[in-house]
């Protein structure tokens, strides 16, 4: 911790690393930042093009069409479940990651390769975070991929799904969500940690000797690079999640639905919408790490990675 941090008044007082207060602060930091909500226009078009590649000729034509029919509100359609779902997921993902990284790397397996620790900690964190995200993701995808919309609000979507399918309807996409998000998060965190270490080596001085602005700049760049890898690794599962939520028949098992959908779209169909998702996730992931690590600096904590 720098002398400047020591001298200023910390908002939550002194926080000991790897204490309950430390993990609670990281959990709070994971909630902050409307990154997914901000890219709702990209997400909306991506999901619709994944389900129906012929619906729009391009992203620009999609936004023009939506704006003409529904205005700005239509471009941000589905922002409420997006905001709530990814806030809950962010809390679980970042808070649990810090906890599992400490548990695996310092307590249980102290001599294990750090990359293995990052992979294990991020996979464990995302397993729990997706349970928090899944209901909101189910509502969001149905709202965004059906025309006319399945529901016009979070409340309406929740009511319609639970009335017809019970609470199980909110979790029918959990397995595909795990298939998408766990590899995504493993790639995101491990790539971020390794990229940040390489960036500090390129800078030529330890993280502790860099200013807070320099550290958060490294976090943003590391996050953007990690987001590009995440988009490629997780995209086929992302397409399948969209398809399952929009086109799963009543009473149809998950694997039966996956097999039927794949037979219709083929391997190439799993990559529909990839370019826009690379832009979306690179930007989103970069800002996620920027916001998260800026909050840690605000709390008097070191930024992530670079050790």
For 16-171, the fitting CATH number among 3.40.50.970, 3.40.1080.10, 1.50.40.10, 1.20.120.80 is 1.50.40.10
pTM of the predicted model, to two decimals?
0.79
Q: What sign has the CA pseudo-torsion 131, 133, 139, 141?
A: negative
Q: What is the pLDDT of residues 28-70, one digit of tens each?
A: 999 986 778 888 898 898 888 877 878 888 888 999 999 999 8
List the one residue out of 80, 78, 74, 79 whose CA is nearest residue 62: 74
Residues ≥6 apart with Cβ < 8 Å to 164? none
Q: Is the pLDDT of residue 306 over 80?
A: no
Residues ≥6 apart with Cβ < 8 Å to 14? 300
E strands present in 82-200: none
Q: Let me know: does 153 contact 80? Beta carbons within 8 Å.
A: yes
Residue intervals of the chain classified under CATH 1.50.40.10 are: 16-171
Average pLDDT, the chain: 88
Q: What is the pLDDT of residues 274-289, one digit of tens each?
A: 888 888 888 888 998 9
How many helices (DSSP H) and strands (DSSP E) are in the chain? 12, 0
Q: Is the pLDDT of residue 182 over 50?
A: yes
Residues ≥6 apart with Cβ < 8 Å to 267? none
Token reading at 132: 């928090």
List the one residue out of 144, 138, 141 whose CA is nearest residue 168: 138
Token reading at 175: 């397995």
């Amino acid at each position: 911790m720098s002398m400047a941090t020591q001298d200023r008044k910390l908002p939550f007082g002194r926080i000991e690393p790897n204490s309950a207060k430390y993990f609670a602060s990281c959990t709070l930091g994971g909630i902050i930042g409307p990154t997914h909500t901000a890219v709702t226009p990209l997400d909306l078009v991506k999901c619709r093009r994944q389900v129906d590649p012929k619906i729009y000729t391009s992203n620009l034509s999609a936004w023009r069409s939506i704006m003409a029919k529904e205005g700005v509100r239509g471009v941000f359609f589905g922002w409420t479940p997006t905001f709530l779902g990814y806030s809950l997921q962010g809390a679980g993902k970042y808070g649990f990651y810090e906890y599992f990284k400490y548990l695996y790397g310092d307590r249980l397996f102290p001599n294990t390769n750090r990359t293995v620790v990052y992979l294990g900690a991020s996979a464990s964190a995302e397993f729990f975070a997706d349970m928090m995200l899944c209901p909101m993701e189910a509502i969001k995808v149905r709202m965004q991929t059906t025309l006319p919309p399945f529901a016009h609000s979070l409340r309406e979507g929740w009511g319609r799904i639970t009335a017809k399918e019970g609470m199980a309807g909110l979790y029918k996409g959990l397995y595909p969500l795990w298939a998408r998000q766990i590899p995504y998060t493993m790639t995101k965190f491990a790539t971020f940690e390794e990229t940040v270490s390489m960036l500090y080596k390129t800078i030529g001085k330890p993280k502790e000797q860099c200013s807070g602005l320099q550290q958060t700049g490294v976090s943003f760049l590391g996050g953007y690079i990690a987001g590009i890898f995440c988009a490629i690794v997780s995209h086929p599962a992302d397409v399948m999640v969209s398809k399952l939520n929009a086109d799963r028949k009543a009473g149809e098992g998950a694997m039966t639905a996956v097999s039927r959908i794949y037979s219709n779209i083929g391997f190439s169909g799993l990559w529909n919408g990839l370019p826009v998702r690379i832009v979306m996730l690179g930007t989103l992931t970069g800002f996620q790490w920027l916001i998260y690590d800026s909050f840690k600096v605000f709390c008097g904590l070191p930024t992530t990675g670079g050790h």
